[in-house]
Amino acid sequence: MIYRTKKITVRLTDKEYAKLREMSETSGLKMEPVIRKLLVGYEIRPRPNATYIKLIKELSAVGNNLNQIAHLANATGKITEDQWKKTHQLLEKIWDFCAYEL
């Protein structure tokens, strides 16, 4: 665990403070971590929106399902018609979700 024992006081203009606050709000971080990240050269990026996060979670779940089917097909050397249909449905779900959300 990192223990931060050094404390400093920094005075900012209204404009500087507004910029720091904006960076904090858009990144989802508190002001102190924003300052620390800037000190080490980290680029502060906006936090992904809810749609993007939902898309990533959905794609991850679909990818896991496809991976399970692929693993079974590789292990047995064959794929059943039901597995093929499920794979096709999952791929259609990805396509529909991406077309709808983006």
Residue carrying the six token digits 């496809």? 66
What is the rounded distance in angstroms from the CA atom of residue 29 to the CA atom of residue 46? Answer: 10
3-state DSSP assignment of residue 48: coil
Query: What is the DSSP track for 60-74?
Result: HHHHHHHHHHHHHHH
Q: What is the CA radius of gyration of the chain?
A: 23
Place of tokens 């939902």: 54
Q: Please report, for the chain, the start and end positions of each structural domain, with discontinuous segments joined by +.
A: 9-47, 50-101
pLDDT digits (tens, 9 = 90+) for 56-99: 888 888 888 888 888 888 888 888 888 888 888 878 877 776 76
Using one digit for the tens of pLDDT, what is the confidence trace for 11-26? Answer: 999 999 999 999 999 9
Cα(71)–Cα(65) distance, integer angstroms: 10
